[in-house]
Structure 1
């Protein structure tokens, strides 16, 4: 999501989109499990709210959950997550894998078209993947998603070899051959992610710098397309894409979205019948928990405090970070501020995400690595102050600017300054897009952040903290951690037991170093209209899948 997207999305806690990858293949509500075949004829239009504007719709450039959600809605890759959350044929009808696991050959359907009528071919994938890792593009997710996976992706991105050396080629119009650096067990699920989507080269180059900045400069190949949208729009519409190869399956004719940042405003719109889904803040949960339309959605997104070791000298001290990690009451936060089904996180990989080879949930196998403990926190704090030679430490805390984000920021700041004597926290609360920019520039001390998975493997969480990784952006580095995680993608790629043993060891190292301070695993409390049917949530990537959505009669 994961996808850095999901991280920086605390604001979506109270909004209907909840744009981070969701857990367990769970539907939005019982009424959404499958379209009603015998429903009376009704207008096939759904109306939703979104937590903010969409920063980018360029598949090579999206890094946030809003972009990932909507790129996933209007486009399609080789595979698409189906109703059960499994990769199902998209533009590819099948694939074959070589004995050594390094060569994947995809057969593409011949009836796939772009919204302008152009045929979609293997060359569209070749162009898009090369563009994603080309250093001239400046993509963050290209090297992050393809580096160490597609042959020569890292070397291309570093400028060490020309882009035409990337391990992807077209064998005719409808066969795509991919060479991997190493066997990659989760590669099929990777192909469902926007970075791996095709692009129409002629269209992209014609639009130049304006590509993907408005409805007119986008070209869909998926179930829907934008009827109206600009990069600064607070409202937009999507309509059914009649050129989509499986358009007969798509029942919705239109979806509308409006940017709403306050939960009460979203609920007011829901009560008026103007929107069909609304997220609830903690105070509203108590009011609506007995409402017929009330539901709780679990999520695989984990939120934490990032501590930048490159800007504020105090945060280079491991005992400062250990103290901060233990000095705030997480249970009170999820019970009182969130009150939406979120649970305390005492590690990085979420609960009920992936099992270990012996069938045990990864979170249970790894255990609680960082728990709330004021006495322990104060021991680390006193040691840190002695090492720093000071009785006072000042730290700026970067957070979101919506109502619930502000409550959470203030709660965390109060807990830290109260439980760690001499710590002064200054809050810096900014809009979502600005937070993305500050994180990328590493222009912060601490920030409230989070991550939703991009594919179904612990690596999607664990590779965030590799030295100089594209999503590290806080100066953390541990050679042993790097070694363990890199081995899971190389020498141990086909040894499941050894891979998971490395993941378990690496997660312990991460929290021995107090690299980040885990806070909670997200869930969402919502009101969902019973007329919303066939909307599914995904374990990773785009939160919601609308391909099978429909409007049924309200009960």
Structure 2
């Protein structure tokens, strides 16, 4: 076994510091109030690390649970339950060394067996996790066969050598494998608690986590309340005492409550960033975030509408969207027009040349009209489609704009607004024609985007399939340099157009100026309240 020098250096440096939680900067004086209240757009569907699929849900889970590693303010890996690891010469066997002072919130020790149980649970078809495929993406040995029901979960390439040593075997070297271990689906769970409470194990009073906070209250669609976990291994250096997340479906109402002092952090509604930046320069922020916003086409052979199976129609729909109007006139928060899938700031990603990205919007619209005419549609024979989108002022404004863009090329678009849970359920069941969709990277590498459109993806809700695309993504797992394969995969997506890319995200927010440790320099925008604190005025 050889020491992984890069991460070990990072971990050693982190361990040399007095704390791994909130580090009060020189000159900062702590405020008496160390509570944090933030905004959620939608209800948290699940507090189960192996079941959750939502970005907002992941934000809660990072407070209640802790995986092998966390991320620092800039997105670099730092110790979580693991303090270091070794890797074999062939880069396929990882041995993680776990801290001996990690405890569950009920006092049980956190052990390697807890990770084995959680990872097997994720891959087990009985769990029916939408993130089971993540275990396959991590290349964990036998994951694909287990997920397909061909092998028992006991054959998954993960084992506890002893209570504080976890061994993971992967199918092929994967340079970014450690980065993938900050994802919530890989967090440990307490087997005893799950077996005791069954489906109710995530309820307040039942949920046992190993994170810096414990769940005190969860009123679905209203609020989540968390308080410091005194048994967390680094509670001594945790400063924020209480977290409250309030669910407010109306972004403008949320902003009003922020300005009234009820919230410490809130998303800025579409179009309001310039004004708020001028009025509150020390509170309005816009920073890159690894997410891409698209309109997904349903290509399911049985459930998808027949016209969308024509690539000319799909290209026309994409070409007709004036992305400059959306980012410059509607959103106005520094977002970038998107003509591809992977966020361009993703580490190591090389943007391909996509022809329509270089055209003027007039050229794109003209081409869209030609393609629609070729496909048999136009003003005299409009294509009727329905767009599903979840409740949000910005989603609504974009949908109305696209409705007008598409009307120009002979599309009669019906807008269908619904709450988040209904929206995602329809996506997962292919009960839609066109749907608003977005993806935020699970780790800072292009495969976190591109794997989604493989045939074996657990999130390929549009049921797109391309054999060459699948082959490229499988080859990328063992390639010395996957960048050219990623570039070709993006070109295929532009050729097949299984979705219409619209924009790449920035995180556009109002944040109270007395808050520190928000992690805004982390492209993934993963944040940990244990790293945060409030300063006195």
Q: Give 1:376's match in structure 2, choosing from 361, 367, 383.
A: 367
Post-superposition shift, 1:35?
A: 4.6
Post-superposition shift, 1:278?
A: 2.5
Aligned-partner SS, 1:282:
coil
Paired with 2:104 and 2:524, the residues of 1 have a C-alpha distance of 22
Post-superposition shift, 1:506?
A: 1.2
Mean Cα deviation higher: 319-328 or 182-191: 182-191
Paired with 2:429 and 2:218, the residues of 1 have a C-alpha distance of 28
State the Cα deviation string for residues 247-279 of structure 1 (Å, max 9, x = none): 122111111121112232222212221211222
Paired with 2:136 and 2:65, the residues of 1 have a C-alpha distance of 19
Q: Give 2:35's match in structure 1, choosing from 45, 49, 58.
A: 45
Could you list the runs of 5+ residues in structure 1 that have no partner in the other structure?
A: 1-31, 357-361
Aligned-partner SS, 1:105:
strand
Paired with 1:118 and 1:468, the residues of 2 have a C-alpha distance of 37
Partner in structure 2 of residue 523 of structure 1: 506
Paired with 1:332 and 1:41, the residues of 2 have a C-alpha distance of 43
Q: Give 2:73's match in structure 1, choosing from 64, 79, 83.
A: 83
Post-superposition shift, 1:543?
A: 3.2
State the Cα deviation string for residues 424-465 of structure 1 (Å, max 9, x = none): 111111111111100100110111111110012111111111
Verify: 1:551 aligned to 2:512, yes or no.
Answer: no
Aligned-partner SS, 2:415:
strand
Partner in structure 2 of residue 219 of structure 1: 208
State the Cα deviation string for residues 194-223 of structure 1 (Å, max 9, x = none): 1111111111110112122x2222111011
State the Cα deviation string for residues 126-172 of structure 1 (Å, max 9, x = none): 00000111111111102234356100011111111111111011011
Paired with 1:35 and 1:533, the residues of 2 have a C-alpha distance of 9
Paired with 2:25 and 2:384, the residues of 1 have a C-alpha distance of 55
Post-superposition shift, 1:74?
A: 1.3
Partner in structure 1 of residue 62 of structure 2: 72
Aligned-partner SS, 2:233:
coil
Paired with 2:490 and 2:399, the residues of 1 have a C-alpha distance of 26
Post-superposition shift, 1:409?
A: 1.1
> What stretches of structure 1 move > 6 A for 4+ residues in a row?
none
Verify: 1:113 aligned to 2:103, yes or no.
Answer: yes
Partner in structure 2 of residue 123 of structure 1: 113
Distance 1:341 1:416, change over 3 A: same
Partner in structure 2 of residue 327 of structure 1: 320
Verify: 1:229 aligned to 2:229, yes or no.
Answer: no
Partner in structure 2 of residue 435 of structure 1: 423
Distance 1:193 1:249, change over 3 A: same
Which structure exhibits the higher relative contact order, with contacts defined as CA atoms closer than 8 Å and separated by 6 or more residues?
Answer: 1
Paired with 1:400 and 1:254, the residues of 2 have a C-alpha distance of 30
- Report the TM-score when normalising by structure 1: 0.87
- Report the TM-score when normalising by structure 2: 0.90
Post-superposition shift, 1:378?
A: 1.2
Distance 1:339 1:119, change over 3 A: same
Paired with 2:195 and 2:521, the residues of 1 have a C-alpha distance of 32
Distance 1:263 1:520, change over 3 A: same
Q: Give 1:149's match in structure 2, choosing from 139, 144, 149.
A: 139
Could you list the runs of 5+ residues in structure 2 that have no partner in the other structure?
A: 1-21
Verify: 1:459 aligned to 2:447, yes or no.
Answer: yes
Question: How many residue pairs were aligned?
Answer: 506
